[in-house]
Chain A
Amino acid sequence: MSISVETSAIPSAPIIRPKTSKDDRTMIAFMLVIGLYLIIALALPLYAMLSKSFSTYSFDLSNFEFQVDKGEGWSEPITALALNENLNVVKPEELKTSSDGRLGVTAFFPDFNFRSPTKYRLRQIRLDSSFLVGSKRVADTEWHEYESNQFRRIVLRPSSATGLENFRTYFSTPALFRSIENSLFIAVLSTIITVSLAFGFAYALNRSKMRFKGVFRLIAMAPILVPSLLPGIALVYLFGNQGMIKGMLFGESIYGPIGIVIGSVFFTFPHALIIITTALAISDSRLYEAAISLRASRWRTFWTVTIPGARYGLISAAFVVFNLVITDFGLPKVIGGQYNMLAVDIYKQVIGQQNFEMGAVVSVVLLIPALFAFSIDRYVQKRQVAVLTAQSVPFEAKPHKQFDLICLCYCLLVGIFIVGLIGVCQYAALIKFWPYQLSLSLVNYNFDVMDGGGWASYTNSIQLGIYTAIAGTILVFSGAYVVEKTNGFFATRSAFQFLAMMPMAIPGLVLGLAYIFFFNDPANPLNGLYATMGILVICTVTHFYTVSHLTALTALKQMDREFEAVASSLKQPFYRLVSGVTIPVCLPAILDISIYLFVNAMTTVSAVIFLYSPDTALAAIAVLNMDDAGDVAPAAAMGMMIFYTNVVARLIHLLISRKVLRRTQAWRSRESVAD
C-alpha cells in the first residue's frame, strides 16, 4: 500500500490495516457526494467553457448561391465558392473568423456598381448560417432578390464548426500572446515578494515573543477584507499624477507593472500568511531541543529545522499567490495601464468584443500554470511526512530581546504598508471631490442614488457571506478529510485532489461565464438555480475552494495517520475520531476557513459579475460599477463598508476562536497541560 512508501522516511510505526469496512463504505459515500458537487460546480461548467474554445467560425462559401440579372434574365446559380475560385478575392485565412464575423458580397462581383440597374439574387443552400441585409438577418433557404443599392449592404455570416482554429489565431496575434510573458513576469515577481514577506511575518508571529502579536495578526488579515480593486484605487490616490506622495516613484508611472506588483503583494499577503502560519504553528519542540543540544547556531537551525518543517506550506503558499495574481483582473484593470495581462485580455475579449470563444481560449492558456502547479504539488506532497506525530511536543518560543525587537520592527513596517493603503481609501471616501474640494463629507455614502444596487446590495452580500461560510466550510473540510485520511482509491483521490486544485487557476470571469453556459442551458435540469442566491453561493464556494482545501489539508497533514490506526485498533468508528480528535485539533484551521470564505464572498467581484440578478446585487460589484461610472470616492466608501463588515466578522471570529480554542487547543502548550 502507498502509506508504507509515504512514511518510509522516518522510522514508521507498525501499520495496522483498518478492518472497519463500514467506515470505508461511509467514506466512499462521502467522497462520491463531494466529488459529485465538484463535478457539477466545476468540471461540467469548465467542459462547457472548453468546448467553447474549440468552437470556431468560418465563412462557408459553398453555402451561398448567387444569380445575376443584367437586364437579360437571370443567370445560372453560382456559389460564392465557385466565384472565389476564379477571382481569388477572399484568401483562405480571411475565411476564418469569429462569431461576429461578416463578409461583404460585392467583392465577388468585380463589375459591381451600386448605381447600376443590375439585380441580384442570393440564397443559402443549407440552414447552418445566415446573411444580413443591413442589419436584418435572413436565415431561410429561399431565394431573395435585391437591387444593387441594397446588395452592397449584404454581408455573409459564418457557420460554426469545431477545431483548433482559435488557438492558431491566438498564437499568431502578438498583442495577445505577449500577455503570457507579462503575466508570468508579474506573477513570479509578486510571488517571490509576497511569500518572503509573509514568511517573515508568520515567523515573527510564531517564533518570537514580541508584543502586539494579536494586533499584527489582525492587521495582516486586513487586505483580505477588501476587494482587490481597492489597493488599486489607493495607489492611484498615492502615486497617480495627483498623488499625495508621487515623488517617491522618481518619475516612474504607477500605471503598469509597478502598480500591479505592489497591489498584488497587498491583496495576496494574507492568503500566503494563512497557509504559512498553519504550517509554522505546529512544530515539534524536540527537534529544536536536539538542535540546541547539538550546539547548532540559530541560523543553522533555521535552515535545517524550520524551513524543512514549513516547506510544504511555503510551496503551497507560492502556488496560491502565483495563481491569485495571474488570474486577478480587477487590479490590472484599475492600475495596469497599457500593460496587457491574460486575465485582462479575457475581460477585453468577453466584455469589449463579446468574443466568448477567444475569451475561452485565453482561459485555457491560463489553465496551464494550474496544471503545472498541480503536478509539482503532487510531487512535493509525496515527499511530505507528518510533522506532528503522536509523540510530538509543541514548540514554545522563548523571549530573546534583540530578535523580538527585529521582529517587531519588521511587522511594524508591513503593518504600516497595509494600514496606509486602507487608510488612504477611507480618506478618499470622505473627501468631497479630490483634489479640488478637500472638505470632508458623507455624501459618498448615499449609495442608493448611484450605480450598483445601493444599500440592498450590501445586505445581499452579507447573506451571501453567511451561506458561503457555512456550506463551504462543511464541504471543504469533509473533502479534505476524505482526500487525506482514506486508504486506497488512489485514482479517485487523485482525481478529487485535481478538481480541488483547479478553482485557484480559474479566473472568476471564466468561472462565471462557464456557469452561464452550463446552468443557463435550457436542457440542464439544474436550470432553476440560475439567477438565484443559490448559484452565487455555489460559484463562490467553488471559486475559493482551493485555498480552503489547502488550509484544511495542511492542518490534517500535521496529524499523523497513526491516530487513525490507534482509533481502529481501539475499534472506534471514524466519526468518533473525527469529532473527538480531528475536528478539535483542526479547529483553528476550520475557523480560518469559514472566515476566509465569508470575507471572500463579501469581496469577490469577477466570479459573480455575470451571475447576479436584480434581487441579488452585491456590494463588491457595486464597488466595481461605481468605479467604472467614475464615482471613485463612493466606490472607496462601499469598499470600506465591506471592510468594516469584515472587521466585525473577524472580531466575532476572534471571540469564538478564543473561547473554543481555550477548550480544544490547551494541549499545544506544555504549561497548561496540567489544567
Chain B
Amino acid sequence: MITRIFKKSALITCIAAISMFAFTNPAFAVDLTVYTAIEAEDLKRYAETFNKEHPDIKIKWVRDSTGIVTAKLLAEKNNPQADVIWGIAATSLLIMKAEGMFVAYEPKGLENLDPKFYDTDSPPSWVGMDAWVAAICYNTIEAAKYNLSPPKTWWDLTKAMYKGHVIMPNPNSSGTGFLDVSSWLQMFGETGGWAYMDALHENIARYTHSGSKPCKLAAAGEIPVGVSFAFRGAKSKAKGAPIDIIIPREGIGWDMEASAIIAGTDKLDAAKKLMDWSITKTAMEMYNTAYAVVAYKGLAKPVKYFPPETLSRLIDNDFDFAANNRKRILAEWQKRYDSKSDPKN
C-alpha cells in the first residue's frame, strides 16, 4: 500500500516538475529581478515603458522603502538575489559599492548626463536617474491658527515662534533625515551645522522614523512645519492638502535615485540592456513626470507644484563626504539629541 502511494506520488512529482519546466521557460524571455525603492504607483508604468522597447525582458520587482531594501541587499551580500538595482538612493549604493557588490559598467549615452549624476570612477559603478530634494512642507491653515509666518531660510526655523511646531526625520532611521543633517554640515560647516541643529532641536516637536512622514503630518495638519522632501509635498498638495512647499534660500540637500548591476548576476546582458535604457531620453522623460530634477542634461520640464527655484538651490552635494563621515555624524547626532529626547528630561 505504502509503496503504491509512494510510486504514485513520485509519478505526480515528475509530471509536475516537467510541466513546471515547460511553463517557466517561454521562448527566450528573461526574468530580471530588480530591487527598487521607486514609488509603487510608478512601477507598472516604468516596466510597461521599458517593455515597449525590450519585450523579451520581464522585470520582477522587489520594492520596499530605501532603508529596508538597502538592509536586504546588504544582508544578501554573499548570495545576491537581485540582478539589478533600479531606483535606490545613491547614498545607499555607495555603501554597497564599498562592499564590492557592483559590476562597473558604462551604459550607452552616459555623455548626455550631468556628471554629478554618476559615479566618478570610470567605468561607473552606478548611474543616477533623478534627484529627490529636501524641502519644507508648510501647512497654511494650521500655521494661521498659531500666527506663524512662512520660513524663508533654514535658520528661520530656529525662531522662537516655531517652538514645538516643527517635525523632522531622525537621521538614525531615515535617509532623508541624514540628507538634511549632512547638507547642513556641508553648507554651514562643521561648527555652524551643529550650532544650527542645537538651535533647531529646541523647536522640534519630535523626530520621526520615516522621511516622508513629516510632510505627511504637515499635510494632515498634525504639525504646521514638516522637514521632508519636495516630491512628497507635491504629491500631498495634488491630493488637496493645504500645504506650501518651501525651498530654503541657503540651499537644499538632495540625493538621487540610481541604478547599478549586482556582481554575480547570471543575466548580465539583460542587466546591461536595462542600464542602457534607464538613461535614455524616453526613460528620463518618464522620470520627469514626477521628479523635477533629472540626470539628462537640459531635459527637465517643470513639474506641477514644485517651486521653480528648486534646481538652482541644490547644494554641491559631496556624496563621498556623506558616506565616509556617516557613522561619526550619526553617533554625534544621537549623543546630542536622541538621549535627550526622552519625555522625562
Contacts and interface: CB of A to CB of B under 8 A. Distances in A.
B338 A610 contact: no
B220 A632 contact: yes
Chain B contact surface mostly: mixed
B98 A628 contact: no
A614 B172 contact: no
B70 A521 contact: no
Given A135-B97, A137-B99, A344 B72 contact: no
A241 B241 contact: no
A387 to B, nearest CB: 41
A98 B236 CA distance: 38
Interface string A464-479: 0000000000000000
Given A135-B97, A347-B209, A436 B62 contact: no
A353 B338 CA distance: 15
Contacts of A350: 71
Contacts of A639: none
Contacts of A356: 71, 74-75
Contacts of B97: 135-137
A198 to B, nearest CB: 28
A573 interface: no
Interface in B65-102: 65, 67-68, 70-72, 74-76, 78-79, 81, 94-95, 97-100
A73 interface: no
Contact of A175 (B209, B220, B335): B335
Given A241-B221, A516-B72, A610-B71, A178 B41 contact: no
B111 interface: no
A452 interface: yes
A117 interface: no
A132 B232 contact: no
Nearest to B224: A241
Contacts of B98: 100, 132, 135, 137, 157
Interface stretch (B149-157, B211-219, B275-283, B292-300): B211-219
Given A352-B67, A452-B40, A135 B119 contact: yes
B320 A632 contact: no
Contacts of A450: 40-41
Contacts of B63: 451, 453
B138 interface: no
B240 A520 contact: no
A353 B330 contact: yes
Interface stretch (B187-195, B307-315, B321-329): B321-329
A256 interface: yes
Contacts of B236: 630
A493 interface: no
A348 B213 contact: no
A348 B209 contact: yes
A302 interface: no
Nearest to A626: B40
B75 to A, nearest CB: 4
Interface string A507-542: 000000100110011100001001100000000000
B173 interface: yes
A97 interface: yes
Given A348-B172, A614-B33, A134 B120 contact: yes
Contact of B75 (A101, A182, A513): A513
Contact of A135 (B60, B94, B341): B94
A550 B217 CA distance: 41
A629 B39 contact: yes
Given A333-B209, A354-B70, A613-B62, 11 more contacts: A135-B97, A135-B320, A137-B98, A175-B335, A242-B221, A339-B343, A354-B71, A434-B220, A436-B240, A451-B39, A630-B235
25 contacts: A134-B120, A135-B125, A135-B319, A153-B320, A155-B324, A175-B338, A339-B342, A344-B209, A347-B209, A352-B67, A352-B173, A353-B172, A432-B240, A435-B220, A451-B39, A451-B40, A451-B41, A452-B40, A520-B75, A522-B79, A609-B64, A613-B62, A628-B213, A629-B40, A629-B65
